[in-house]
Structure 1
């Protein structure tokens, strides 16, 4: 598939985001990343209002950052990769509207292995931790 198509196909964008952000977290971790995007879609705001817009919004899902080493990998991965097959199956559920939210409404997350939590990760917004990712609901309506 040409790279331009990868960036406009909601299934490809969401699968590659899940794989790029959480392939080391297994199916549950990849589902949780997709849930954060799904919860953003449910509440359109500055982060976008469609699947590609939400996942590709600058500086939101770090695997898409031009300086992130995962970007080249996620653009090159194919369905021969078993983890990407799982990501595609989960992304298909997102695209079809059948993905189950396992994050209690979270729209944001960060890797708990980072030395410092982001400023937006206030305890009152915390929802759950899945693998190495802590999930939060921070906006646009915060705790709602």
Structure 2
């Protein structure tokens, strides 16, 4: 799985002064199980490239449904997830044991952390990541 992006691969949302609106349902979510090769995972994601300026920013939507199996994901960047609905049950390789994040909660994932998304997760979250889009999620 390639996780290398270049600034030239994308059309960035932030094009100049003024307001912009991304309407719900206008971006197609990608199936995480196909990307990770774990058929038991029920999860969808989309990365939306916002700016390629210094300190690139990516916006995203992530959904996960209860499944037979969870998964681990290594974050090489800062990401801030806001749970919109449902809940996410998470733990990490730094000693955080089964955190439950519910609607309205914000989870800060620091660079260098591997997060376990437990199979009991059933929620939707938006996120802002301090990085270029992941090519496999965009």
Q: TM-score range by the shorter chain?
A: under 0.3
Q: Which has the larger radius of gyration?
A: 2
Higher relative contact order at CA 8 Å, sep ≥6: structure 1 or structure 2?
Answer: 2
What TM-score, normalized to structure 2?
Answer: 0.24
What TM-score, normalized to structure 1?
Answer: 0.23
